Structures are given as C-alpha cells and as structure tokens.
Amino acid sequence: MPQPHVILASTSAYRATLLHRLLAEFTQAAPGTDEATLAGEAPADRARRLAEAKARAVASRHPGAVVIGSDQVADLAGTVLDRPGTVAAAHRQLEASSGQEVVFHTAVCVVDAHGGAHAHVDETRVVFRSLSRDDIVRYVERERPLDCAGSFKCEGLGITLFERIRNDDPTALIGLPLIATARLLRAAGIALP
C-alpha cells in the first residue's frame, strides 16, 4: 500500500533541510496563516497553536496528505522575540539577550491523512554570553539573521553567541525537532527507519 504524500507546511529552507534527513521525498507549501500572538497567550501555547494552524491550513487544500506544521517562539523573560525583519531590530534583540537565558519553544504538528492532529512542543534553553556592541554589529552584518526568531542562526555563526544550550533534541533550535517529528510521522503511518 503506498504511503500518503507528505507536505511540509513551510517555505523555510532550514526546515526543509532538516526534514530531508528523515524523508527523501516531500513537497513544501506556504500555509498563509496569521502568526499574531493572542492576548494572554503563553509562548509555548502560541508555538503549538501556530504549528497546528499551519498544518491544518495546508491539509485543507490537500486532502489525504500527511502535513507537517512547525513554529518556533523565542521567549526572553516573557517577551516574545519574533523574526526581527530589520538590522536595527536584530541589534535590539541581541542586546536584550546578551547575558540572558532565552527559551525557544519549537512546536511540530502532524496532521494525518484522516485529519487527526498529533503535536509536540520542544523546549530549548539558550544562555547568551555577554555581547559587546561590536560583537552584535559584526554578527548581524556577517550572518544577516533577519528571518530567524531571536536574531541568530545556531546552525551557522550564531553558535558563537552562546555560553550553553540545554535541550532534548539538538535539531529543535534550528526549527524542526526531528526526534518528535519522526515519532509523529510514524504515528501518521509514514514508514521511517
């Protein structure tokens, strides 16, 4: 019996690269969901809600497919650090994170071929080293992390900004927790090693 088609509900090159570690074939589709925070919503709840909303949005357009949605929310003492979008915003986020612990909530939701949703939220705690203004300027200029929650790319030069990282899945910080994703895909009927 053939497996259902798998779709990653994201146009992120980072997530696609990670998912290729599990699956040779899948397609990507933009979910087109509103990513605004709801009033009083906890960061982990926001990540879970958005991961499921993205997966369901794409699943509604592709009946019978297995759809993976993911979202990451960076939390600095209760303040959400979204994608900065501009160099100035990246500088502000990194200045605020300097010497601090930032918690990254990375959610994944798999909607199976029958419409059932299976989700997981991974938590990664990152302690930033004390960053000078010059450190921040050099980093942002070289890495251009304007599309990344928290203003860094841990798979690149961003790793130099940290004192330590604590988590259960090292892929979660890049944007897709593969340990949980593999488990959820198996539950949705996708054969993996």
pLDDT digits (tens, 9 = 90+) for 3-51: 899 999 999 988 999 999 999 999 999 999 988 888 889 999 999 999 9
For the chain, how are helix, strand and coil distributed in percent, rounded to 5?
Answer: 35, 25, 40
> Do residues 127 and 163 touch, judged by C-beta distance below 8 A?
yes
Of 45, 71, 135, 147, which is the active-site residue? 71
Residue 147 a catalytic site member: no
pLDDT digits (tens, 9 = 90+) for 86-123: 999 999 999 999 999 999 999 999 999 999 999 999 99
* pTM across the whole model: 0.91
The CA distance from 134 to 140, in Å, is 10
Domains along the sequence of the chain with CATH: 6-187 (3.90.950.10)
> Do residues 142 and 157 touch, judged by C-beta distance below 8 A?
yes
